[in-house]
Amino acid sequence: MTTQSTGRLGFFREGLLDIFHLFFALTPAYVRGRRLHTTHSSLSGTGSLSDAHPIRRPRSRYACCGRRHRPLSAAATQVYRECMSSPPVSPANHDTDATGVLMRDVMGQLLQKLRYEPTAKRVRATLGGQTVVDTTHAMLVWEPRRVVPGYAVPYQDIRAEISPRTPPPPENGPVGFMLPDLSTIPVFDPRIPFDVRTTGGEPVGIRVAGTEAVASGFRARDPGLDDYVILAFADFDSWFEEDDEIISHPHDPYGRIDIRGTSRHVQLMLDGHILADTTRARMLFETTLPARYYLPVEDVVAPLEPSSTRSMCSYKGYATWYSALVGDKRVDDIAWQYEHPLSDAAEVQDYVAFLDERLDLVIDGEQQERALTPSS
């Protein structure tokens, strides 16, 4: 073996010894000194493992494997001192307020702030038949009071003309919808126009050269969004995350949907008339929203007629709406169905859901309080 290789081996060996010494120094004595009492019966045989393989306490602070080694190096000693000088962490010793918080209260407080989060997804958007956005540095942005995010992208990743624009005049009267389970102030869902502003900045226009295609953007006056433009999602022809098209708005990384089958007895009624009655519902749970009951078509009692209304959800896809005949009156756009749902909602394909905010929902014989949502 050459002198050079011997030196490298020695350096490697000494480094390993430092690691071992540091571990040994930080390990409590009662752990180092005790014998292992696991039995062979808990593994593959019988008898005491400690009887066959006793773990003996080392003879001195720096002894192991029957040999005496040098003390810790300066670097390892420094780490050891820092660890030993740190105060112990014990919940019983905390002087801070240990009162828990309701997560939706925390989320409600954050609603009044400008929030943003980087995403690792490649994001693209088309406008006027051309790809005008292509970036791997997009930001998800929630302006104050908005409950779903939009996209902000760097200036240099927009392949179109960007220029200042004059936004339309603000609407008179209150704007927004009450969602009391989340916030005490009205919130903005995707139906609220993009140009309803809750933060300072500069409106801009995105125009594809040689076409009439134009979209709205906004430069927020915030250091975290310097050189970024927030884009009006609905103004673009299509959006893609990686190679998959998305609709309505970007997915919220802090929100999701869950679908669970339930045998609860679910009844939907209006003015004493039963619209649906089932014990085979599927419950759809969506972050910050009331649970929805999706019912088999066979268990819907009231006659349903398709309406011209269509809607879309970023998580569930495109929905077809129905009006119901209840007694001698027609209730418009009271139910919907996803005939071709996105993968997240595949379990409710062809099931029917009702706006129970406008109906009497009875679960296992107990009438539920009507939820207050933007659809109320």
The contacts of residue 115 (CB under 8 Å, 6+ apart) are 141, 142
Radius of gyration of the chain (CA): 31
Rounded average pLDDT over 99-125: 92
Whether 223 and 105 have beta carbons less than 8 Å apart is answered as no
The residue type of 291 is A
Check residue 177 and give its pLDDT: 83
What is the separation, in whole angstroms, between the first and last Cα of the chain? 82
pLDDT band for position 199 (cuts 50, 70, 90):
very high
- DSSP helix/strand/coil, 201: strand
Beta carbons of 176 and 198 less than 8 angstroms apart: no
pLDDT tens per residue, range 6-43: 454 454 455 555 555 555 555 554 444 444 343 333 33
What is the Cα–Cα distance from 188 to 149, expressed in whole angstroms?
11
For residues 159-163, give the mean pLDDT: 97
Which of the two residues, 149 and 39, has the higher pLDDT score? 149
Q: CA–CA separation, 316 vs 346, rounded Å? A: 8
Q: Is the pLDDT of residue 233 over 90?
A: yes
Whose CA is closest to 251, among 342, 334, 157?
342
Q: CA-to-CA distance for 342 and 306, rounded, in angstroms?
A: 21
pLDDT at 366: 97
Report, as an integer, the average pLDDT of 100-105. 87
Residue 176 confidence (pLDDT): 86
Q: Average per-residue pLDDT in the chain?
A: 82
Minimal CA–CA distance to 319: which of 368, 290, 284? 284
What is the structure's pLDDT at 43?
36
The token duo for 3 is 């002198």
3-state secondary structure of 58: coil
Residue 373 buriedness (CB in 10 A; 0-12 / 13-18 / 19+): middle
**Least confidently predicted of 45-59, 171-185, 272-286, 325-339:** 45-59
